Amino acid sequence: RQGLVVMISGRGSNLLALAEACRSGRIPARIDAVICDRPGAAGLERAAELGLDRVLIDRQRHASRADFEDSLGAALDGLAPRYIILAGFMRVLSADFVDARPGRMINIHPSLLPRHRGLETHRRALEAGDREHGASVHFVTPALDGGPVISQARLDIRPGDTPDTLADRLLPLEHQLLVRTTALLMTRTVELRDGCIHVDNQALEHPLDL
C-alpha cells in the first residue's frame, strides 16, 4: 500500500506541497484522495486543479461526531491508504477512531510540541515570550496534539514579530517538514511501538530536525 489520503479543512497549502512532491518523485507515493470536512474550503479547489480525487464529508450534514466518523471511516476503509495525513484538518477525532488506525495517521501542528497544543499557536508563543517557534509532525493518538513527535522545524522569534509574521515565516518550513517527513515514512521503516517511534528498528530519542 503506497497510497496516501490527505485530510484538510481549509486553504490546502500543505496539500499542494505534498502533491508537488509526489508528482516530482520526492515522495515515492501517490495521493489517492483528499478528504475535506468543509464544503467551501479553498483546498478543495486546489485539489480539483491538481486532478486529485476529492471526497467531501461535510460535518454540518452529520448529526453527531459519531455519524461523521462513520462516514469518514467508510471512506478511509475503501481507500485503504498506507498513511492518512492531517494537513490543516481542524476537527478533533475520537479515541476510538484514532485507535482503529494505530501508527497510520500523522498530523502537522504549528508549534514546537509539546509547547502550545491546540489553536492560536503563534499568538500563544509570542505571549509566552518564547524565543523559538516552529512546527511538528506527530503520530495521531487520542491525546489532542499529544502523540509522539516524529520531526520538527524551528525558527527564531524576532523583535516585532506578530502572529501573522510568524505564520508567514513558518508556512514554507511547514511545507518542507511535511514533505520530508512523509518521504521518510515512505522510504524507511517507521513504527510506533509502545508509544515510542522506531526508525529502522532504532528508537528515536528526539524528534528529527527536518
Which residues belong to the active site? 109
Q: Is 109 in the site for ligand GAR (CB under 6 A)?
A: yes
What b/e readout covers 8-39, taking b as 16+ CB neighbours within 10 angstroms?
bbbbbbbbbbbbebbeeeebebebbbbbbbbe
Cβ distance to ligand GAR smaller for residue 13 or 141: 13
- Of 5, 29, 36, 43, the one binding ligand GAR by CB under 6 A: 43
Cβ–Cβ < 8 Å for 98, 105: yes
150 Cβ partners below 8 Å, 6+ apart?
106, 137, 138, 139, 181, 184, 185, 190, 197, 204, 207, 208
Instruction: Report d(CA 50, CA 46) in Å as an integer.
Output: 6
With binding defined as CB under 6 A, does residue 133 bind ligand GAR?
no
**Residue 10 binding ligand GAR, by CB under 6 A:** yes
When CB distances to ligand GAR are compared, the closest residue is 88
CB of 117 to ligand GAR, least distance (A): 9
Strands (E), 47-116: 54-56, 83-86, 105-109
Query: How big is the site for ligand GAR, counted in residues (CB under 6 A)?
Result: 15
| Residue 134 interacts with ligand GAR (CB under 6 A): yes or no | no
Binder among 4, 6, 7, 13 for ligand GAR (CB under 6 A): 13
Q: How far is the CB of 200 from ligand GAR (least distance, A)?
A: 27
Question: Looking at beta carbons only, is 29 or 166 nearer to ligand GAR?
Answer: 166
Angle between helices 13-24 and 42-49 (to 10 degrees): 20
Q: Which of 14, 152, 181, 182 binds ligand GAR (CB under 6 A)?
A: 14
Q: At closest approach, how far in Å is the CB of 122 from ligand GAR?
A: 9
Q: Which position among 21, 33, 57, 87 is part of the footprint of ligand GAR (CB under 6 A)?
A: 87
User: Do residues 169 and 90 lie in contact, with contact meaning Cβ atoms separated by under 8 Å?
Assistant: no
Nearest distance in Å: CB 201, ligand GAR:
30
User: Burial code of 162-190, b = ≥16 C-beta within 10 A, e = fewer?
Assistant: eeeebbebbbebbbebbbbbbbbbbeeeb
- Min dist. Cβ of residue 111 to ligand GAR (A): 9
Stretch that binds ligand GAR, among 10-18, 20-28, 124-132, 151-159 (CB under 6 A): 10-18
Q: Does 111 bind ligand GAR (CB under 6 A)?
A: no
